[in-house]
Amino acid sequence: MTVVVRIPTVLRSAVEGQTTVTVSETTIGKVLEHLIATYPGLNGQLLNSDGTLHRFLNVYVNDDDVRYLGGLDAPVASGDEVTLLPAVAGGAH
C-alpha cells in the first residue's frame, strides 16, 4: 500500500528537496507521524506538541479536507494523494 504525499515548496528543505514522499500508512495521523520520524525538520510544522494537527496546516486527501473526514483518524488507502498546504498568515493592519 502506498500513499503519495505532496510536499509544498516551503517544507521541501526539511525533506531533502523532494516534491513528493511515498509512505505506507493507514491514517492521516500515521502519515504525519511517519513524516516527522523520517524527517525531523518537520517536527512542529505538522503537529502540535500535544499531537493535534497544526492549526496553520491544511491537509487534503484527494482534494478533501481531512478536518471533514475525521481529522488525524481520516483513513488513507493505496493510491491516495495527500496534499500538505501551510496557511498563509500575517500582513499589515
The CATH number given to whatever domain includes residue 7 is: 3.10.20.30
The verdict on residue 18 lying in a domain is yes
Q: What is the mean pLDDT of residues 26-52?
A: 95
Q: What is the mean pLDDT of residues 63-73?
A: 96
Cell numbers standing for residue 29: 495521523
The verdict on residue 93 lying in a domain is no
Rounded-to-integer distance, Cα 80 and Cα 76, Å? 6
The verdict on residue 91 lying in a domain is no
Q: What is the mean pLDDT of residues 13-18?
A: 96
pLDDT at residue 57 above 90?
Answer: yes
- Confidence band for 89, pLDDT divided at 50, 70 and 90: low
Find, among 47, 41, 43, the residue nearest to 59 by Cα. Answer: 47
Q: What is the mean pLDDT of residues 57-67?
A: 96
The verdict on residue 92 lying in a domain is no
Find, among 65, 11, 64, the residue nearest to 38 by Cα. Answer: 11
* Number of domains into which the chain is organized: 1
Boundaries of domain holding 50: 3-86
Mean predicted lDDT score pLDDT of the chain: 93
What's the whole-model pTM score?
Answer: 0.91
